[in-house]
Amino acid sequence: MLDKLEAFVQRYNELNARLSDPKITSDQNLYRDLNREHSHIAPIVEKYTEYKKICGDILNNSEILESGDEELRELAKEELPELREKKAGVENELRLLLLPKDPNDDKDIILEIRAGTGGEEAALFAADLFRMYSRFAEVNKWKLEIMSSNSTGIGGYKEIIALLKGRQVYSRLKYESGTHRVQRVPKTEAGGRIHTSAATVAVLPEADEVEVEINPADLRIDVFRSSGPGGQSVNTTDSAVRVTHIPTGLVVSCQDEKSQHKNKAKALTILRARLYEKMQAEADKARADERKSMVGSGDRSERIRTYNFPQGRITDHRIGLTLYKLEQVLNGELEELIEGLVTFYQAEALKGT
C-alpha cells in the first residue's frame, strides 16, 4: 500500500507542475482531464500526509519512552494508545480511497421511473418516487430536466424520464436502481384494504458522443402528433419523435417539447445512455466470474426497498436497514439510506482487496 501511496505523491507533484504550465492551460481539454485527475488524487495525498505525521508522532513517542525524562515518558505513554488508534482509522480511510474508482461516479444521469404491478396505484407511487428524487436533487443543488413523461389522469406516471446534472450525481444515486415496493391503502381504493404495488427505477450514467457513437444509418426516426396536456401546438403539429435503434431494437419516444428538434435531441440523449448501459452489461457478463465478488449490480429485477405506509416504515432489503421516517424520506431526506448503502458496498469491496 505504501508503494502505491508514494506513487500517488509523485504523480500529484507532476500534476501540480503541469497544471501551472501555460502550454497546458491553453489546451482546454488536456487541462480539464489533468485537473480532474488532480482532484481525484488530492484527497489521497492529503490523507497520506496525515498518516505519515501520525507515524512520525508514534516514533517520537516511542523514543521518548526509552529516555530518562520521567515526565516526558508519562506524557508519551498517555499519547501512544490514542495515536495508534488514530493510525488504524487513517489506514482504513486510505484503503477506501485506494479502492478502484467507478469511472461513472462523476457522470450526470438519466433517471427512469416506471410503474410496475398495481395499475393506477403503481403509477401514483412512481410519481411519489419522482417527487422524492426531485426533492433530493434540490437539496444537493442538482439540475433536473424532464426528458419524457407519460402521465395518468389522476397525477400518476406510467413512465417518467429525467436528466439530473450536478456534482457526483451517479455516485450518490447508482444504488437506487431496482424494484421499489409500496404497501398502503390506495387513493383509488374505497374499501380501506392495504395493497402492494411496485415501480422500477433505473439510474443510467449519461454517455457522451465519444463514448457511444451512433451511426445515423442505424436509426429510424418517426414523427407523430403529441397527445395529452400541453401547449397550444400539442395535437396540431407533428412534434413528437420516436427513435428506433435498428441494430438493438431499442426505442425511445419524446413528446414533452413543442419543438421536434428538441424532442429528437432528448430522445438521442436517452438512447445513448441506454446503449452505454447495454455495453456495460455485456462487458459485465463477459467477466461473470469476477462479477460474483462485486457489488451493486443495479439489476432492476431485484426488489431493493419497501415503503410501508401504515407503519411509516422504509426498509432497504440489501443492507437490512429499516427507518421509521417514511414521510421524511419521501420528502427527499435520502441521505441516511444512501450513506448506509455506500458504507455497506465499500465494506464489501474491501473484503475483496
Tell me: do 195 and 124 sit in the same domain: yes
**Three-class SS of residue 197?**
strand
For the stretch 163-182, pLDDT in tens is 999 988 999 999 999 999 99
CA distance 67 to 241: 81
CA atoms 255, 261, 264, 265: torsion sign: negative
The residue behind cell 513517542 is: 61
For the chain, give the percent of residues with pLDDT over 70: 89
Question: Does one domain contain both 116 and 204?
Answer: yes
145 occurs within a structural domain: yes
> What is the extent of the structural domain holding 91?
2-98
Residue 159 in domain: yes
Are residues 23 and 171 located together in one domain of the fold? Answer: no
- For residue 205 the three cell numbers come to 450514467
| Whether 203 and 247 share a structural domain | no
User: What are 280-322's pLDDT values in tens digits?
Assistant: 887 766 644 433 433 333 344 568 999 999 999 999 999 999 9
Q: Is 21 within a domain? A: yes
| Secondary structure tally for the chain: helices H, strands E | 10, 11
Same domain flag for 11 and 146: no
Burial 227-258, CB ≥16 within 10 A → b, else e? eeeeeeebeeeebbbbbbbeeeeeebbbbbbb
Report how many domains make up the chain. 3
Q: How far is CA 100 from CA 96, 171, 267, 296, in A?
A: 9, 13, 32, 14
Q: Residue with C-alpha cell 455485456?
A: 282
CATH of the domain at 227: 3.30.160.20
Same domain, 198 and 115: yes
Answer for the pair 204, 273: CB distance below 8 angstroms, yes or no: yes
| CB neighbour burial string for 297-307, b if at least 16 within 10 angstroms, e if fewer | ebebeeebbbb
CATH number for the domain harbouring residue 195? 3.30.70.1660
The count of residues in the chain is 353
CB-CB contact of 96 with 1 (8 Å): no
- State which of 262, 286, 310 marks the end of a domain: 286
pTM, 2 dp: 0.72
Burial-class residue 103 by CB neighbours within 10 Å (0-12, 13-18, 19+): exposed
Asked if 198 and 313 sit in the same domain, the reply is yes
Per-residue pLDDT tens for 23-75?
888 888 888 888 888 988 999 999 999 999 999 999 998 888 887 678 888 88
Q: Both 115 and 151 in a single domain? A: yes
Report the pLDDT averaged over residues 235-243.
77
